[in-house]
A and B are shown apart, each in its own frame.
Chain A
Protein backbone atom coordinates (compact mmCIF):
# COMPACT_ATOMS: atom_id res chain seq x y z
CA UNK A 1 0.00 0.00 0.00
CA UNK A 2 2.01 2.97 -1.31
CA UNK A 3 -0.27 5.85 -0.21
CA UNK A 4 0.66 8.98 -2.19
CA UNK A 5 3.47 8.66 -4.73
CA UNK A 6 5.19 11.69 -6.24
CA UNK A 7 7.60 11.75 -9.14
CA UNK A 8 10.24 12.92 -9.62
CA UNK A 9 11.83 13.33 -6.17
CA UNK A 10 14.39 15.88 -7.37
CA UNK A 11 14.53 18.12 -10.43
CA UNK A 12 16.67 20.98 -11.68
CA UNK A 13 15.21 23.20 -14.39
CA UNK A 14 16.51 26.14 -16.33
CA UNK A 15 14.44 29.32 -16.36
CA UNK A 16 11.76 29.06 -19.03
CA UNK A 17 11.68 25.27 -19.18
CA UNK A 18 8.48 23.39 -18.56
CA UNK A 19 7.78 20.26 -16.57
CA UNK A 20 4.99 18.24 -15.01
CA UNK A 21 5.02 16.90 -11.47
CA UNK A 22 3.14 13.65 -11.14
CA UNK A 23 1.09 12.47 -8.19
CA UNK A 24 -0.88 9.26 -7.71
CA UNK A 25 -2.78 7.86 -4.72
CA UNK A 26 -4.05 4.35 -4.17
CA UNK A 27 -6.44 4.99 -1.28
CA UNK A 28 -9.54 5.74 -3.38
CA UNK A 29 -9.63 9.30 -2.01
CA UNK A 30 -11.88 11.86 -3.64
CA UNK A 31 -9.85 14.99 -2.85
CA UNK A 32 -6.30 15.80 -3.92
CA UNK A 33 -4.08 18.83 -3.34
CA UNK A 34 -0.83 20.47 -4.37
CA UNK A 35 1.13 22.51 -1.82
CA UNK A 36 4.49 24.22 -1.95
CA UNK A 37 6.73 24.60 1.08
CA UNK A 38 9.30 27.36 1.36
CA UNK A 39 11.55 28.26 4.31
CA UNK A 40 9.79 30.73 6.57
CA UNK A 41 6.55 30.54 4.57
CA UNK A 42 5.05 27.24 5.60
CA UNK A 43 2.85 25.12 3.35
CA UNK A 44 0.81 27.09 0.83
CA UNK A 45 -1.98 25.65 -1.30
CA UNK A 46 -1.49 25.92 -5.05
CA UNK A 47 -4.48 24.01 -6.44
CA UNK A 48 -6.86 21.38 -5.22
CA UNK A 49 -9.40 18.97 -6.65
CA UNK A 50 -12.37 18.14 -4.46
CA UNK A 51 -13.44 15.33 -6.78
CA UNK A 52 -12.65 13.84 -10.15
CA UNK A 53 -13.35 16.39 -12.87
CA UNK A 54 -13.08 19.49 -10.68
CA UNK A 55 -10.15 21.74 -9.82
CA UNK A 56 -9.93 25.00 -7.86
CA UNK A 57 -7.27 27.62 -7.24
CA UNK A 58 -5.61 27.89 -3.87
CA UNK A 59 -3.55 30.68 -2.36
CA UNK A 60 -0.68 30.74 -4.90
CA UNK A 61 -1.89 29.44 -8.30
CA UNK A 62 -0.03 31.84 -10.62
CA UNK A 63 2.44 30.10 -12.92
CA UNK A 64 0.89 26.67 -12.46
CA UNK A 65 -1.75 24.49 -14.10
CA UNK A 66 -3.24 21.23 -12.90
CA UNK A 67 -5.00 18.21 -14.35
CA UNK A 68 -7.10 15.70 -12.47
CA UNK A 69 -6.52 12.89 -14.92
CA UNK A 70 -8.71 10.38 -13.07
CA UNK A 71 -9.57 9.60 -9.45
CA UNK A 72 -6.01 8.41 -8.72
CA UNK A 73 -3.86 11.00 -10.47
CA UNK A 74 -3.41 14.76 -10.07
CA UNK A 75 -0.59 16.47 -11.96
CA UNK A 76 0.95 19.92 -11.58
CA UNK A 77 2.48 21.66 -14.59
CA UNK A 78 4.93 24.53 -14.72
CA UNK A 79 4.68 26.00 -18.23
CA UNK A 80 7.64 28.39 -17.99
CA UNK A 81 9.65 27.85 -14.83
CA UNK A 82 10.96 30.84 -12.87
CA UNK A 83 13.51 30.96 -10.01
CA UNK A 84 10.65 31.99 -7.68
CA UNK A 85 9.20 28.52 -8.21
CA UNK A 86 12.19 26.89 -6.53
CA UNK A 87 10.52 25.02 -3.68
CA UNK A 88 9.51 21.67 -2.27
CA UNK A 89 6.20 20.53 -3.73
CA UNK A 90 3.89 18.20 -1.84
CA UNK A 91 0.91 16.35 -3.15
CA UNK A 92 -1.75 15.17 -0.70
CA UNK A 93 -5.05 13.36 -0.74
CA UNK A 94 -7.99 12.95 1.64
CA UNK A 95 -11.29 11.17 1.83
CA UNK A 96 -13.95 13.89 1.71
CA UNK A 97 -12.95 16.65 4.16
CA UNK A 98 -10.09 14.69 5.64
CA UNK A 99 -11.18 15.36 9.17
CA UNK A 100 -11.03 11.84 10.57
CA UNK A 101 -7.77 10.57 9.11
CA UNK A 102 -6.31 13.85 7.90
CA UNK A 103 -4.53 14.33 4.66
CA UNK A 104 -1.98 11.79 3.44
CA UNK A 105 1.06 13.52 1.99
CA UNK A 106 3.61 12.31 -0.50
CA UNK A 107 7.33 12.57 0.20
CA UNK A 108 7.74 15.68 -1.93
CA UNK A 109 9.48 16.90 -5.09
CA UNK A 110 12.46 19.18 -4.56
CA UNK A 111 12.57 21.56 -7.51
CA UNK A 112 15.36 24.02 -8.25
CA UNK A 113 15.01 26.57 -11.06
CA UNK A 114 18.29 28.16 -12.13
Chain B
Protein backbone atom coordinates (compact mmCIF):
# COMPACT_ATOMS: atom_id res chain seq x y z
CA UNK B 1 0.00 0.00 0.00
CA UNK B 2 1.31 3.43 -0.93
CA UNK B 3 1.93 5.53 2.16
CA UNK B 4 3.34 8.92 3.18
CA UNK B 5 4.46 9.80 6.72
CA UNK B 6 5.51 13.31 7.72
CA UNK B 7 7.43 14.33 10.83
CA UNK B 8 7.31 16.15 13.07
CA UNK B 9 3.58 16.92 13.28
CA UNK B 10 4.37 20.40 14.57
CA UNK B 11 7.53 22.49 14.69
CA UNK B 12 8.15 25.78 16.44
CA UNK B 13 11.15 27.86 15.40
CA UNK B 14 12.57 31.24 16.20
CA UNK B 15 13.10 33.58 13.28
CA UNK B 16 16.44 32.70 11.68
CA UNK B 17 16.58 29.21 13.22
CA UNK B 18 17.05 26.75 10.33
CA UNK B 19 15.53 23.27 10.41
CA UNK B 20 14.21 20.42 8.26
CA UNK B 21 10.88 18.68 7.75
CA UNK B 22 10.82 14.99 6.89
CA UNK B 23 8.61 13.02 4.49
CA UNK B 24 9.03 9.24 4.41
CA UNK B 25 7.25 7.35 1.67
CA UNK B 26 6.44 3.85 0.53
CA UNK B 27 5.27 3.61 -3.05
CA UNK B 28 5.48 0.97 -5.75
CA UNK B 29 7.01 3.00 -8.54
CA UNK B 30 7.49 6.68 -7.70
CA UNK B 31 6.37 8.98 -10.47
CA UNK B 32 6.89 12.16 -8.48
CA UNK B 33 7.06 13.59 -4.96
CA UNK B 34 5.33 16.88 -4.34
CA UNK B 35 5.58 19.55 -1.64
CA UNK B 36 2.72 21.95 -0.94
CA UNK B 37 2.20 24.82 1.47
CA UNK B 38 -1.21 25.37 3.08
CA UNK B 39 -2.23 28.49 4.98
CA UNK B 40 -5.18 28.38 7.41
CA UNK B 41 -8.53 28.46 5.62
CA UNK B 42 -6.99 28.09 2.18
CA UNK B 43 -6.25 25.36 -0.32
CA UNK B 44 -2.76 23.89 -0.70
CA UNK B 45 -0.30 25.82 -2.86
CA UNK B 46 2.23 23.97 -5.02
CA UNK B 47 5.91 24.35 -4.13
CA UNK B 48 8.02 21.62 -5.78
CA UNK B 49 8.02 18.33 -7.64
CA UNK B 50 10.97 15.93 -7.31
CA UNK B 51 11.35 12.94 -9.59
CA UNK B 52 14.46 10.94 -8.74
CA UNK B 53 16.84 10.29 -5.87
CA UNK B 54 19.50 12.96 -5.59
CA UNK B 55 17.35 15.70 -7.05
CA UNK B 56 17.15 19.07 -5.28
CA UNK B 57 14.98 22.14 -5.85
CA UNK B 58 15.05 25.55 -4.21
CA UNK B 59 12.68 28.45 -3.78
CA UNK B 60 13.65 31.40 -1.62
CA UNK B 61 14.37 29.97 1.87
CA UNK B 62 13.11 26.48 1.00
CA UNK B 63 15.10 23.60 -0.42
CA UNK B 64 13.64 20.16 -1.11
CA UNK B 65 15.74 17.02 -1.49
CA UNK B 66 14.86 13.43 -2.38
CA UNK B 67 16.29 10.00 -1.57
CA UNK B 68 14.86 6.56 -2.39
CA UNK B 69 12.91 6.47 0.87
CA UNK B 70 12.36 10.05 2.01
CA UNK B 71 12.34 13.71 1.19
CA UNK B 72 13.42 16.67 3.26
CA UNK B 73 12.21 20.24 3.15
CA UNK B 74 15.00 22.41 4.51
CA UNK B 75 14.06 25.87 5.75
CA UNK B 76 16.97 28.27 6.01
CA UNK B 77 16.69 31.34 8.25
CA UNK B 78 12.87 31.19 8.40
CA UNK B 79 10.70 34.26 8.78
CA UNK B 80 7.26 34.52 10.44
CA UNK B 81 5.63 34.53 7.00
CA UNK B 82 6.92 30.98 6.48
CA UNK B 83 4.46 29.81 9.14
CA UNK B 84 2.07 27.34 7.49
CA UNK B 85 1.33 23.65 7.16
CA UNK B 86 3.64 21.88 4.72
CA UNK B 87 2.23 18.87 2.91
CA UNK B 88 4.11 16.11 1.16
CA UNK B 89 2.46 13.89 -1.48
CA UNK B 90 3.51 11.07 -3.80
CA UNK B 91 2.29 10.07 -7.21
CA UNK B 92 2.69 6.43 -8.24
CA UNK B 93 2.98 5.25 -11.82
CA UNK B 94 0.11 2.78 -11.49
CA UNK B 95 -2.21 5.29 -9.83
CA UNK B 96 -2.47 7.64 -12.77
CA UNK B 97 -2.46 11.27 -11.75
CA UNK B 98 -3.85 10.93 -8.21
CA UNK B 99 -1.72 12.13 -5.27
CA UNK B 100 -1.43 10.46 -1.87
CA UNK B 101 -0.84 13.04 0.85
CA UNK B 102 0.83 12.88 4.23
CA UNK B 103 -0.83 14.52 7.23
CA UNK B 104 1.44 17.54 7.13
CA UNK B 105 3.84 19.42 9.38
CA UNK B 106 2.58 22.64 10.94
CA UNK B 107 5.41 25.16 11.16
CA UNK B 108 5.25 28.19 13.46
CA UNK B 109 8.00 30.81 13.22
CA UNK B 110 8.10 33.49 15.88
CA UNK B 111 10.00 36.77 15.75
Contact = CB atoms under 8 A, between A and B. Distances in A.
Interface of A: 4, 31, 33, 35, 40-45, 48, 50, 56, 58-59, 90, 92, 94, 96-108
B97 A96 contact: yes
B25 interface: no
A68 to B, nearest CB: 14
Contact of B91 (A43, A90, A97, A104): A97
Interface of B: 31-32, 34, 36, 41-47, 49, 51, 87, 89, 91, 96-104
Closest 10 CB pairs of A and B: A102-B46, A105-B43, A42-B103, A43-B101, A99-B32, A97-B97, A31-B97, A42-B101, A99-B49, A105-B44
A101 B101 CA distance: 17
Contacts of B96: 48, 50, 56, 97
B42, B45, B46, B98 pick with most chain A CB within 10 angstroms: B98
A97 B32 CA distance: 9
A107 to B, nearest CB: 5
Nearest to B102: A42
Contacts of A41: 103
Contacts, number: 70
Contacts of B91: 97-99
Given A97-B31, A97-B32, A90 B97 contact: no
A42 B98 contact: no
A86 to B, nearest CB: 16
B18 to A, nearest CB: 25
A105 B102 CA distance: 16
A45 B99 contact: yes
Contacts of B34: 102-103
Given A35-B101, A59-B100, A105-B43, 4 more contacts: A42-B104, A43-B87, A99-B49, A103-B44
Contact of B43 (A58, A96, A107): A107
A35 B98 CA distance: 10
A50 B49 contact: no
Nearest to B2: A59
